[in-house]
Amino acid sequence: MMEETKHPVDNGDSYSTTPHHNSVSTDSTVIKMPTLGPEQTLPANNTHQTTPSFGGDSSASTACGTQDPPNGAPVRPSMSDPRGLPVAEFEEYPGLPRLNYRILDYKWKLSIIVFLLVLESALAPLILYYSLLYNTTLRMGIVFAIITSFFGIVSGIEFGLRCLKLILKEDKYRPPGGTKWSFDFTHWTLSFGYTVMTGILIGASIPHDPYVRILAIPLSLFWLQMFVQLSWSGWMSATHRPAPCKMSSIDKGERVPPLVLTLVEDIVGVDGAGGIIYRRALLARYNASRRFRKMIAKLNWFWAVGCLIDGVGTLVVIWTVPERVAYGVGWGSPLVFVIIWTIVSVQWVKHDLRREKKLWLEERGIPEMRHRK
């Protein structure tokens, strides 16, 4: 059991991914806390208790460019993880779990991967199509055979490496409780979308006169798939529905989170090398902070609406303009959409995380540390 805290709690509806918790009363508010294991204890005065960071040094910063405590500032284990696992929290933000991830440590790797994926999924098809169309006498079947042969090289290698990480004997990247061959939810989502897109590209390029308009729709169909999944998860989360299957760290029967949370967990945890430590920390942060949950929910609908607009809008244009223009729109529009939505999302997250921390302190009557860099 946890002693009564002297600070107000995060007002608003509490979120829990598991049904069994201990409860602690503070004034008229009941806090749901995870059941501690036999070896887990909490300090009597957790505001000043310090221990090394769980799973990394104390200089690691949270995701999306937020700042960490000054060098040497201590962190302590938090009991905010709904499964009772130790998760580091900021000493200067008592009770707020850290995300334990510094994206700048992986900037070169991520930059190279993103560039290669953009090259494969947008730039290469456009460059090859128009250069071969206007500068050679090759028939269209050969043109699209060349283009299709390039599709999947980068994403296939990255997908294979991702698969290897998830099936390794060491349980470093898999979701908590996941089996060797269960992968994660994002892996299955991408598998379905990638299979559909590959089938369309192969099938529509086989005829002597390829179906150019159909060859322009794979990315638009993928956005519509994402719209359905984002909308479904957003509705399931808002109505407190149980998960029909394991969704990465969320077990079957637990409350469904917005898909954006699951995608961030899986992509950073596996492709970004955050591992199971990041998975636990992200879920703990989501469980502990009402404002973090609201930010994730809004981002989920923001991307759902964007996927719908770009997916439907691009399909309409593809079937109404000349074929040569349609192909450029089909492969170029999704790239423009992703760039705009990503820029807005990054600024949105930075603003909301700063506000979350500021209000976290104000609600608990803790003065903000002005010496933070």
Give the C-alpha separation, 70 to 48, whole Å: 16
Cα–Cα distance for residue pair 61/80, rounded to 1 Å: 18
The strand pairing partners of 75, in sequence order, are 51, 90
Strand partners of residue 51: 75
What is the separation of C-alpha 72 from the centre of its chain, rounded to a whole number of angstroms?
A: 29
Strand partners, 33: 22
Where do we find the tokens 């920390």?
281
- Model-wide pTM > 0.85: no
pLDDT on residue 15: 54
Q: Is 351 exposed, middle or buried (0-12, 13-18, 19+ CB in 10 A)?
A: exposed
* pLDDT by 10s per residue, the chain, length 373: 333 334 444 444 555 554 444 433 333 333 333 333 333 333 333 333 333 333 333 333 333 333 333 434 333 333 345 455 555 556 667 778 888 788 777 778 888 888 888 988 899 999 999 999 999 999 999 999 999 888 878 888 888 888 888 888 677 888 888 777 888 899 999 999 999 999 999 999 999 899 999 999 999 999 999 999 999 999 999 999 999 999 998 999 999 999 999 999 999 988 888 888 899 999 999 999 999 999 999 999 999 999 999 999 999 999 999 999 999 999 999 999 999 999 999 999 999 999 998 888 888 777 766 534 3
Domain boundaries, the chain: 104-357
SS3 22: strand
Query: What pLDDT does residue 6 have?
Result: 40
Q: Are 360 and 93 in contact (CB under 8 A)?
A: yes
Q: DSSP state, 182?
A: T
Is-contact 24 2, C-beta < 8 A? yes
In terms of Cβ atoms closer than 10 Å to its own Cβ (0-12, 13-18, 19+), residue 49 is middle
> What pLDDT was estimated at residue 176?
85
Q: What is the DSSP string of 75-143?
A: EEEES-STT---EEEESSSTT-B-----GGGGHHHHHHHHHHHHIIIIIHHHHHHHHHHHH----HHHH
pLDDT at position 41: 37
